[in-house]
Amino acid sequence: MRQRPPILLLGLAILAVLVSLAPLSYLVIRLGEFGIDKVIANVVRERSLELLGNSVLLALAVAASAVVVGGFQAWLTTRSSLRGRALFAVLAALPLAMPSYVTAYAFTALFTGFRGFAAAWLVLTIGTAPYVYLAVSAALMRADSATEEVARSLGAGRWRVFKEVTWPSVRPAAVSGAMLSALYTLSDFGAVSILSFDTFTRAIYSAYRSSFDRSGAASLAAILVVLTIALLLIEPALRGKSVVTDSHTRKYSEIQLGWYAPVAVMLASAWVIVSLVLPAYSLVRWNQTGLSQVDLGEVSRALINSVGYAAGGGFIAVVFGLAVSVLAIRYRSTFTSALERSIWITHAVPGIVVALSLVFLSNRVLPEIYQTSTLVLIAYLILFLPNAIAAMQTPISQTPRELDEIAASLGSSRLQTLRRVIIPIAGPGILAGGALVSLAVLKELPATLLLRETGIETLATRLWSETSVSAYAAAAPYALLLVVVAGIPAWLLNRQVQAGSRAQSGIEQRIERE
C-alpha cells in the first residue's frame, strides 16, 4: 500500500535537505571566482593527491578497525556468557564522551613521540568504535537468535553461524557505523593536527590559516564532497540485503565462551585500558600540574552554554531526523530515499568550511540570524543530522508495520499513527539519536568558535582558548568537565539502545496476547 506522505514530514525533510546542502552553494560560488583551471591546478598537485591518499587510507583503516572493535564489543556484551558484560557495555560507549583532540593530547602527554599514522589511527578508532558498537548491539538485540540456534542444531559450526546467520543481520548496522567513522575521520582536524599526520582536512585548515586562501580551501573541500558521494554510492552494495528478523520470541541463549572466556575478558579489558583508563589518567595528572587559577564563574557560564547548545542541537536533530527517517522508511519512494541520501553529502566537509559558508550565506541572505544561536543550531544540524538518522533508522524500521495498518483501520490519521505508534515504540532509539547529536555538539569546536554570539563561551571554546596559550592547568578543568558532561548522554545512549529492544519485545508480547 503506497501512501502519500504527510505534509508536515515532507516539509521538515525538504527543509533539512536544503539546509544540509547550503554549504555546497558556497563552495560553488568560491570555486566560480577561482576559475576552473586554477581549481584543477590546486587539486591535481602531487602533494594534494598524496594528502588525499593519506586521508582515504586513514578513513578506511579507522572504519575497518572500528568495525572490528565495536563489533566485537557488541557481540560480547549482547550474546556471550561473559561475566560483567553489563559493565563492559557501559564502558564501550563511554569513549564517545572524549573529544578526539583531547584523547590525542592526553596520549601525547603520556608518551613522547606519539605521532603519525598509527597514532591517528588509534585515537580515531577510540573515538569512532562506539558508533559501530551502538549500532551493532542494537541490531544484535533485535536479531533473532533462534535462527542461530536452528543453524547450530543443524550442525553448522560457530564460525559458519556467524558468517551466514549473524553477520548478515548486523551488516547494515555495521556498515552505517563504518560510514560514520570514515566520514568523521575525513573531516577531523583536531586529532590529526596534534598527532602531526598530514591529511586533506589539515591542508584545508592551513589554506585558511596561512594564506587566507578561501578559494583554495574551497576547492579542496569540494574534493571531500566528491569522495563522500563516491562512498554513498558504494554503501548500498556493502550493506547487502536487509534481513528481516522479526522474531516474536525473544529468548537469548547465551553463547558459552568456555576456554575462550579469559581471552575475551583480556581483550575487552585491554581496550578499556587503552580507550578510557590511559586518557583519563593523563587528564587527571594534567589537572594536577601547573599553577593557573580557575575562575569558577567562567566555568559555570561555559557549562550552561554548552548544555544549552547541546540540548538545542539534540532537539532539532530529533525533529528533523525523525521526519527524514520516517519518510525514507515508511513512505519509501525514489524521492524520499534521495532526500535521505542527500543529508549525507556534506558530512565530510570540515567544520570550518561549513561555518564559513554560513557566515557568507547568512550575511547575504538572512543577516538577522548572523551571530545568533539560531545560526549555530543550523550549523549543528548540517554537521550532525546524519548521526541522528543513522541511530534512528534501525529502531524505526523494526517497528512492526502491521501496527500502522491496525491504527489506520481504527481511524488514526497518518500523523496520529506516527505519534501514537511509531514514536512510542521506537522512542528509545529516537532519543538515542538526539543524545548522539548532543554529544557531538558538546565536543564541536570550529563552527561554534566562528558562529557563536559574540561573548558566548562553551566548554569546548574555553578548552581551546586555554590550550592556545600555554595555560595547560587552566585548560584541564574544562577538559575534565567536558568529558564528565558528555559522559551523561553517552551513558544514557547505551541504556536507551538496550531499553529499546526490551520495549519492542514487550509490545510484541502484548500484541500476541491480544
Partner 1 sequence: MNIIKRALKVGAAVLIAAFAATSLAGCARESTATGEQTITIYSGRSEDLIAELLEQFTAETGIGVEVRYSDSASLAAQILEEGSNVQADVFFSQDAGALGAISEAGAFKKLDDDTTGLVYSKFRAVDGTWIGVSGRSRVLSYNPDLVAAADLPKSIFDLADPKFKGKVGIAPTNASFQSSVTAMRVLAGEAVTVKWLNAMKTNAVLFEKNSQILEAVESGQVSAGLINHYYWYERAAEVGEDKMISKMAWFEAGDVGNLINVAGVGVLSDKPEAKTFAKWLLGSTAQNFFVNKTAEYSLTGLAAREGLPALDQIAAPNIDLSALSTLAQTLELIRNARLTD
Per CB under 8 A, contacts with partner 1 among 292-311 are 292, 297-298, 300-301, 304-309, 311
Q: Could you write out the DSSP letters of every residue in 166-199?
A: IHHHHHHHHHHHHHHHHHHHHH--HHHHHTT---
To partner 1, the closest distance from the beta carbon of 19 in angstroms equals 9
Q: Which is nearer to partner 1, 7 or 484 (CB)?
A: 7
Q: Which is nearer to partner 1, 132 or 479 (CB)?
A: 479
387 in helix, strand or coil?
Answer: helix
- The residues, ordered by sequence, that sit 6+ positions from 113 with a Cβ below 8 Å of its Cβ are none
- The residues, ordered by sequence, that sit 6+ positions from 382 with a Cβ below 8 Å of its Cβ are 19, 20, 22, 23, 346, 354, 358
Rounded Cα distance between 199 and 193, Å, is: 9
**CB-based contact 312:456 (threshold 8 Å):** no
Q: Which is nearer to partner 1, 411 or 455 (CB)?
A: 455
Binding-site string for partner 1 from residue 306 to residue 345, where x marks contact by CB under 8 A and - marks none: xxxx-xx--xx--x--------------------------
Q: Which is nearer to partner 1, 8 or 484 (CB)?
A: 8
Q: Rule CB under 8 A: which of 186-245 touch partner 1?
A: 193-194, 196, 198, 200, 202-203, 206, 208-214
Q: Which is nearer to partner 1, 153 or 293 (CB)?
A: 293
Q: Which is nearer to partner 1, 208 or 252 (CB)?
A: 208
Q: Which is nearer to partner 1, 279 or 351 (CB)?
A: 351
To partner 1, the closest distance from the beta carbon of 449 in angstroms equals 5
Q: What are the CA-CA distances from residue 395 to residues 51, 137, 413 (Å)?
A: 38, 12, 22
Q: How far is CA 37 from the centre of its chain?
A: 36
To partner 1, the closest distance from the beta carbon of 460 in angstroms equals 13
The span of 59-67, 278-286, 352-360, 498-506 binding partner 1 (CB under 8 A) equals 352-360
The span of 76-84, 134-142, 289-297, 483-491 binding partner 1 (CB under 8 A) equals 289-297
To partner 1, the closest distance from the beta carbon of 312 in angstroms equals 3
Determine which residue in the list 160, 364, 419, 420 makes contact with partner 1, applying CB under 8 A. 364
To partner 1, the closest distance from the beta carbon of 218 in angstroms equals 11
To partner 1, the closest distance from the beta carbon of 234 in angstroms equals 27
Rounded Cα distance between 413 and 392, Å, is: 22
Q: Which of 390, 291, 310 is nearest to 344 (CA)?
A: 390
Size of the site for partner 1 (CB under 8 A): 78
Determine which residue in the list 21, 299, 359, 403 makes contact with partner 1, applying CB under 8 A. 359
Q: What are the CA-CA distances from residue 77 to residues 91, 245, 410, 417, 432 (Å)?
A: 11, 20, 40, 34, 18
Q: Rule CB under 8 A: which of 372-431 touch partner 1?
A: 372-374, 377
Cell of 162: 556467524
Cell of 45: 598537485
255 in helix, strand or coil?
Answer: strand
Binding-site string for partner 1 from residue 441 to residue 480, where x marks contact by CB under 8 A and - marks none: --------xx--xxxxx---x---xxxxxxxxxx------
Q: Does 112 bind partner 1 (CB under 8 A)?
A: yes
| CA diameter of the chain | 70
Determine which residue in the list 169, 336, 371, 494 makes contact with partner 1, applying CB under 8 A. 371
Cell of 59: 578513513
To partner 1, the closest distance from the beta carbon of 452 in angstroms equals 8
Rounded Cα distance between 322 and 406, Å, is: 21
Q: Rule CB under 8 A: which of 14-33 touch partner 1?
A: 14-15
Q: Does 97 bind partner 1 (CB under 8 A)?
A: no
Cell of 416: 496520529
Q: Which of 487, 391, 482 is nearest to 443 (CA)?
A: 482
The span of 261-269, 351-359, 386-394, 411-419 binding partner 1 (CB under 8 A) equals 351-359
Q: Which is nearer to partner 1, 65 or 325 (CB)?
A: 325
Q: Rule CB under 8 A: which of 41-70 touch partner 1?
A: 47, 51
Q: Which is nearer to partner 1, 309 or 384 (CB)?
A: 309
Q: What are the CA-CA distances from residue 99 to residues 54, 271, 485 (Å)?
A: 22, 17, 12
**CB-based contact 226:35 (threshold 8 Å):** no
Rounded Cα distance between 461 and 228, Å, is: 28
To partner 1, the closest distance from the beta carbon of 3 in angstroms equals 13
To partner 1, the closest distance from the beta carbon of 153 in angstroms equals 52
Residue with cell 514487550: 506
To partner 1, the closest distance from the beta carbon of 189 in angstroms equals 11
To partner 1, the closest distance from the beta carbon of 281 in angstroms equals 18
Q: Which is nearer to partner 1, 202 or 443 (CB)?
A: 202
**CB-based contact 397:329 (threshold 8 Å):** yes
Q: Which is nearer to partner 1, 247 or 465 (CB)?
A: 465
Q: Does 367 bind partner 1 (CB under 8 A)?
A: yes
* R_g of the chain, CA atoms, integer Å: 23
Cell of 311: 540540548
One-letter amino acid for residue 350 of the chain: P
Rounded Cα distance between 199 and 124, Å, is: 13
Rounded Cα distance between 433 and 355, Å, is: 23
Q: Which is nearer to partner 1, 258 or 297 (CB)?
A: 297
